[in-house]
Structure 1
Amino acid sequence: MTTHTTKMLILGSGPAGLSAAIYGARAGMAPIVVQGIQPGGQLTTTTDVENYPGFADVIQGPWLMEQMQAQAEHVGTRLMWDTIVEVDLTRRPFRLIGDGGDVYEGDVLVIATGAQAKWLGLDSEDLLKGKGVSACATCDGFFYRGKRVAVIGGGNTAVEEALYLTNHSPDVTLIHRRDSFRAEKILQDRLFAHKGIKVLWNKEVDGFVDGGGTAGLVGIDLRDTVTGEISRVDVEGGFVAIGHHPATELFRGHLALDSDGYIAVETGTTRTSVPGVFACGDVMDKVYRQAVTAAGTGCMAALDAERFLATAEFEVAEAAE
């Protein structure tokens, strides 16, 4: 068992965590990043990225994360391969314990553990991820310009994604397993007023249809939840919009969470309910969930952490005098 100590401890190595590390390292806080079970975050499972600023041509998600990691290490970040299983936020330095017994201590803690999209759990869904099946219309909708697409879900996310996709597709179908939406009324009003969106009620996905070869998704088989009848809708893009799981189980009972399980932060900051603990990226953002916004909040977390430490050190020095 080894104890690793640092001024800034960061949990999570996606765009938020690595951006926090870059800013923290440049501020002289010698951050340690504990990478967790998915180093690089969700972008490592993404292929074409066309909306990250600074790149005129399409780039690959894994490559982008490799560059962020290299930049973080170049300015002085230490990256550790471990999975945290226990936390103690009752006193500073904060203490995290890895599954192998290693201990990580930080004067400040930045949580950037992210969130994972919920999937339907179908074999055909796994087969066609990135080949017509996606969980982010904002990320991938551009690739379906002029094509027929479908959104699966009935909450705010599903309705918002269906409306967003009308910017690219003239034929959008919203598939919902019930006969009414859970989305806010104002969103429903906008949806029903839009002539480019068709709603299929009482339908659940039975399977995604592979066109074979390089065709990718060509249709979605649906099962009627009332009659059991099977039907098919022909589409080239299918967007699963049934919510996200924020990776916050480790902090339940230690930090304030909102009603959806995301870490609650003070408005306009990354400050959590525990002084010295900061949250950034998708673990605290259930609205935007983009790589660029995650990176932005990672920068905010590092700046908030730097100011916290400077204030704490000043108060200690003043008390000593």
Structure 2
Amino acid sequence: MTERKEYDVIVIGAGPGGMTAALYAARANLKVAVLDRGPYGGAMNNTDAVDNYPGFVDVKGPELGEHMYQTMMKFEPDFEYGDVQTVKLEDGKKVVVTDVGEFAAPALIIATGADHKKIGVPGEEEYSGRGVSYCAVCDAPFFRDEDLVVIGGGDSAIEEGIYLTQLAKSVTVIHRRDQLRAQPILQKRAFANDKMNFIWNAQVEAIEGDGQKVEKVTYRDKETGEEKEVKASGVFIYVGILPQSKPFADLGILDEQGWVATDDLMHTNVPGIFALGDVRAKHLRQIANAVGDGSIAGQEAYNYIQSLND
């Protein structure tokens, strides 16, 4: 028989939001389990430097994650490594099925985040965090007065491209089609921006550098077949983002795009199930607002447990 461990609250995901939720719940004297399939810290582990989180003038992503982990563990939640396969509802309990056993609790907090789609070209992984980025708000200050490339043509690509022009010397948008998919108002702003340039009908072939930092993007002109390049110190990729919500597909808490739908208090439409951070449908995905979501979710989980005892 599969081993089942019982808790008051289960938190799936140990990024900044998940660790904050676990901190708040454990600090309220609840028995808490934190589950993650990888190292705590989440996407922070791929961030070379964080300079927009209050209290830290300049900190490495993994270092910030370590601070958060140590703060959480002060209140002694159980941290378990496991790959979540599905969640079942049984007699008021949320049963989390993983590859290392089952975990059950009245309250469940989902903090599994989202992954940026990759373009899968040489240099993308090699220069991630060293010139390749998926977040202009996070990394734009590191590229002040530099020539940058944005890959994509949807709303996110153009919004972020416009944002980058506040600091960059120039922003070149590389798009595989001959017109943008972004909203007309965003297109109008982009085309009116003197710092923005556009390369159409282009297939990115590689991101190249000196081994330490990005220097250029190589692309193929889809009309002529000619290979060309554009110099850049940074490459910002926006070809889509995917919520990590597959294990929750049968719970009825996802919207049509797969994001977990919540109210402002992180409640889903299933009592006792909460969600926070990047797995929610939201516009700004930052460490600071993940932590804010986490504090609310942890407190709301406590309130839910209390309501069961009333």
TM-score by length of 2: 0.95
Query: Which string of whole-angstrom CA distances, capped at 9 and with x for unpartnered residues, describes residues 11-39 of structure 1?
Result: 00000100001111111212110122353
TM-score by length of 1: 0.92
- Which residue of the partner structure matches residue 261 of structure 1? 258
How far has the Cα of 1:264 moved from its partner? 1.0
How far has the Cα of 1:294 moved from its partner? 0.8
- Which residue of the partner structure matches residue 319 of structure 1? none
The one-letter code matched in structure 2 to 1:127 is E
What is the SS of the residue equivalent to 1:299? helix
How far has the Cα of 1:2 moved from its partner? 2.8
Mapped partners of 2:63, 2:152: distance in 1 = 31
Query: Which string of whole-angstrom CA distances, capped at 9 and with x for unpartnered residues, describes residues 105-140 of structure 1?
Result: 111000000111111111221121122111111111
Kindly indicate whether the alpha-carbon contact (under 8 Å) linking 1:13 and 1:36 is maintained by their aligned counterparts in 2.
no
Query: Which string of whole-angstrom CA distances, capped at 9 and with x for unpartnered residues, describes residues 141-194 of structure 1?
Result: 110001000100111110111011011112111111111222122211221221
Report 1:271-282 matches (<5 A): 271-282=267-278
Which of 218, 223, 227 is equivalent to 1:221? 218
How far has the Cα of 1:300 moved from its partner? 1.2
User: What is the RMSD of the two structures over their aligned residues, measured on CA atoms?
Assistant: 1.4
- Which residue of the partner structure matches residue 304 of structure 1? 300
5+ residue gaps, structure 2, are none
- Which residue of the partner structure matches residue 82 of structure 1? 82
Mapped partners of 2:280, 2:240: distance in 1 = 14
Report 1:12-91 matches (<5 A): 12-56=13-57, 58-89=58-89, 91=91
Mapped partners of 1:89, 1:173: distance in 2 = 49
What is the SS of the residue equivalent to 1:177? coil
Kindly indicate whether the alpha-carbon contact (under 8 Å) linking 1:6 and 1:30 is maintained by their aligned counterparts in 2.
yes
Identical-pair percentage: 35
How far has the Cα of 1:242 moved from its partner? 1.1
The one-letter code matched in structure 1 to 2:285 is R
Distance 1:277 1:313, change over 3 A: same
Mapped partners of 1:53, 1:228: distance in 2 = 48
Matched, 1:270 2:269: no
Mapped partners of 1:286, 1:151: distance in 2 = 22
Mapped partners of 1:138, 1:211: distance in 2 = 25
Mapped partners of 1:273, 1:123: distance in 2 = 43
Distance 1:63 1:285, change over 3 A: farther
How far has the Cα of 1:90 moved from its partner? 5.2
Distance 1:286 1:244, change over 3 A: farther
Kindly indicate whether the alpha-carbon contact (under 8 Å) linking 2:40 and 2:69 is maintained by their aligned counterparts in 1.
no
The one-letter code matched in structure 2 to 1:107 is P
Mapped partners of 2:173, 2:181: distance in 1 = 13
Kindly indicate whether the alpha-carbon contact (under 8 Å) linking 1:154 and 1:183 is maintained by their aligned counterparts in 2.
yes
Kindly indicate whether the alpha-carbon contact (under 8 Å) linking 1:11 and 1:36 is maintained by their aligned counterparts in 2.
no
Kindly indicate whether the alpha-carbon contact (under 8 Å) linking 1:160 and 1:187 is maintained by their aligned counterparts in 2.
yes
Mapped partners of 1:96, 1:297: distance in 2 = 21
Deviates more, 1:91-100 or 1:7-16: 91-100
